[in-house]
């Protein structure tokens, strides 16, 4: 369990200060000195950082030729494993970053040098109180794969099973904690000092990342993903899921079956093994579509390194650390979005898109409908085989970003998974049509709503909600009545946006009062003049004249005020 704490006015420990210097140095190196200056960081961190942050010039040759997004990617790569993981998370979150940043962060590679076997032995002794040589018949000291969180060794169990053992890097949890604490501090400063950054909610990004990486460093969660995925496809011969050895699995060690196959991107090896590439492509695409539409639980990182092809055209998936899930509501809305677009119904498509997304400021629906219609016009009048999911995804991201709409993370993961599979498929079969392949699944999902069992299930669900409501409502109503009897019920009303109405009402009241007073003065002056109340001036009451002049001044002022507002 990660222990993330906020950094106070001063860095918590020397390790924070040292790491902070390193991070700021890399940011300056890639031309982000202006960002550091705007953060006002010298007010919060020890004075030892002031000299470092006083130099704001990039030290990367030719950095002016690079885009800001490219420099962000390069800085993230140099910042190390934790920041690479953050970049990879952000590359799946269209609700946090603009499309051009997502494209760059998608290029991040999680490849780092392996750690020594002596440290592997230390992890085993910490988890099992025994070295790996005693737990396995054989254990290869050299890993065959290495990443930022851990590395994988080949081994043989005492029962003769060949396994792949993933071992977590020693001290990685403490490293991540320090980096995430610094990230959280920087994000807080960004929200406080940089107005345009506050919209992207950097603090929420870091909090989301902390939750995500906390799951990733717990290997028992990945083991659960593998077992759940395997249960879904028990009856499917075209998919093979490696077995998990639970007795050899902990939070820091994952032991699973070692599967030997051909990477799906090695086209020449597939041909040499006598495998039909077109059949492999069709099977792989159908498996992804079944994951999404039949089960709503899917492998969210199907890149070529995670897909093997076994003899008999069997697909084997690896690395179940990143998974996505779609509930029935999201699947239903997504299918409605596709059907609305297919029928060229801009209004319905825009409305479904609003249901699928979230926003802070309500978008202009007319402008959204116009942009949706433009996007539909680009795709609906071309053959299906010419529609590329990757390009469609980029255009959809651009549209939602323009209207400040946020796509749900799991829906975005699904679209990226489709894009990845399409890229692999077209490598093996240039004529592959992902959209056409998905059409039968979309139709089946649409028709499934009218199946008697689905209707009955929804009726039962609604009935259950109604039953719970009618069961709870009388008790709550009685409680309200009891509070009223005891005179303990307080009702508070708050109004918003009525200030202008109240101000207008006051102005109208004032003008009416002036008009009434003016009319009364005119009538009064007339009565005084007729009565010839002294003193008289040329036989006319002087008081009447004064009152009449006062009424004339007030009347002229009122007329002038009305004409100035141009509301006669």
Helix/strand/coil (H, E, C) string of 335-368?
A: HHHHHHHHCCCHHHHHHHHHHHCECCCCCCHHHH
Q: How many CB atoms lie within 10 A of CB 401?
A: 18
- 439 CB-near residues (< 8 Å, 6+ apart): 384
301 is catalytic: yes
463: tokens are 């009935």
**What's the gap between Cα 520 and its chain centre?**
68
Residues with Cβ within 8 Å of 301's Cβ and at least 6 positions away in sequence, in order, are 319, 321, 322, 417, 420
Helix (H, G, I), strand (E, B) or coil at 147: coil
Partnered with residue 163 across adjacent β-strands are: 155, 257
Give the active site residue among 301, 336, 371, 410.
301
Q: In Å, how far from its chain's centre is CA 42? A: 31
Beta strands in 213-360 (DSSP E): 239-240, 253-257, 262-263, 297-299, 307-310, 314-317, 323-325
Could you tell me which of 387, 408, 308, 285 has the C-alpha nearest to residue 342?
387
Nearest to 172 by CA among 117, 216, 225: 216
- Nearest 10 degrees: CA dihedral of 56, 57, 59, 62? 140
Q: How many residues does the chain have?
A: 568
User: CA 285 to CA 435: how far, in whole Å?
Assistant: 10
Kind plus residue range of the DSSP H or E element containing 124: helix 117-128
Local structure of residue 142 (DSSP, 8 states): S
d(CA 284, CA 288): 6
- Cβ atoms of 149 and 172 within 8 Å: the answer is yes
Known catalytic residues are 301
């Amino acid at each position: 369990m990660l222990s993330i704490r906020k950094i106070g006015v001063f860095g918590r420990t020397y390790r924070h200060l040292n790491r902070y210097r390193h991070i700021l140095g890399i940011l300056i190196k890639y031309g982000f000195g202006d960002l550091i200056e705007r953060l006002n960081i010298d007010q919060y961190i020890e004075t030892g950082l002031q000299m470092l942050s006083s130099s704001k010039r990039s030290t990367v040759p030719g950095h002016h030729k690079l885009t800001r997004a490219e420099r962000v990617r390069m800085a993230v790569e140099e910042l190390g494993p934790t920041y690479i993981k953050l970049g990879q998370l952000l590359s799946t979150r269209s609700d946090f970053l603009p499309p051009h940043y997502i494209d760059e962060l998608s290029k991040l590679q999680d490849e780092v040098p392996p750690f020594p076997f002596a440290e592997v032995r230390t992890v085993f002794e910490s988890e099992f109180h025994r070295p790996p040589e005693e737990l396995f018949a054989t254990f290869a000291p050299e890993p065959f794969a290495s990443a930022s969180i851990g590395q994988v060794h080949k081994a043989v169990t005492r029962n003769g099973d060949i396994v792949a053992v993933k071992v977590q890097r020693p001290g990685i949890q403490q490293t991540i904690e320090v980096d995430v604490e610094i990230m959280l501090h920087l994000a807080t400063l960004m929200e406080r000092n940089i107005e345009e950054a506050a919209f992207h909610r950097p603090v929420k990004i870091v909090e989301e990342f902390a939750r995500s990486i906390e799951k990733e460093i717990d290997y028992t969660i990945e083991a659960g993903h593998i077992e759940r995925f395997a249960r879904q496809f028990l009856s499917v011969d075209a998919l093979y899921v490696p077995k998990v050895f639970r007795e050899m699995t902990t939070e820091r060690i994952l032991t699973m079956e070692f599967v030997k196959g051909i990477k799906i991107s090695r086209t020449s090896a597939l041909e040499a093994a006598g495998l039909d590439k077109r059949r492999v492509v069709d099977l792989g695409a159908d498996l992804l579509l079944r994951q999404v539409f039949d089960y709503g639980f899917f492998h969210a990182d199907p890149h070529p390194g995670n897909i093997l092809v076994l003899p008999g055209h069997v697909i084997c998936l690896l690395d179940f650390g990143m998974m996505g899930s779609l509930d029935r509501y999201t699947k239903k809305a997504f299918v409605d979005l596709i059907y609305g677009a297919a029928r060229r119904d801009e209004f319905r498509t825009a409305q479904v898109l609003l249901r699928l997304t979230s926003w802070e400021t309500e978008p202009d629906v007319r402008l959204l409908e116009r942009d949706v219609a433009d996007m539909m016009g680009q795709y609906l009048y071309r053959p299906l085989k010419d529609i590329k999911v990757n390009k469609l995804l980029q255009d959809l991201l651009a549209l939602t970003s323009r209207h400040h709409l946020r796509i749900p993370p799991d829906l975005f993961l699904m679209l990226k998974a489709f894009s990845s599979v399409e890229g692999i498929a077209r490598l093996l079969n240039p004529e592959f049509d992902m959209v056409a392949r998905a059409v039968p699944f979309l139709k089946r999902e649409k028709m499934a709503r009218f199946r008697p069992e689905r209707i009955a299930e929804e009726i039962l669900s609604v009935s259950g909600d109604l039953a719970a409501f009618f069961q709870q409502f009388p008790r709550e109503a009685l409680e309200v009545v009891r509070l009223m009897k005891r005179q303990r019920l307080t009702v508070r009303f708050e109004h918003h946006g009525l200030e202008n109405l109240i101000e207008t009402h006051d102005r109208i009241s004032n003008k009416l009062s002036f008009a009434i007073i003016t009319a009364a003065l005119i009538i009064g002056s007339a009565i005084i003049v007729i009565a010839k109340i002294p003193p008289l001036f040329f036989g006319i009451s002087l008081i009447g004249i004064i009152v009449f002049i006062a009424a004339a001044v007030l009347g002229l002022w009122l007329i002038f005020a009305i004409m100035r507002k141009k509301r006669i």
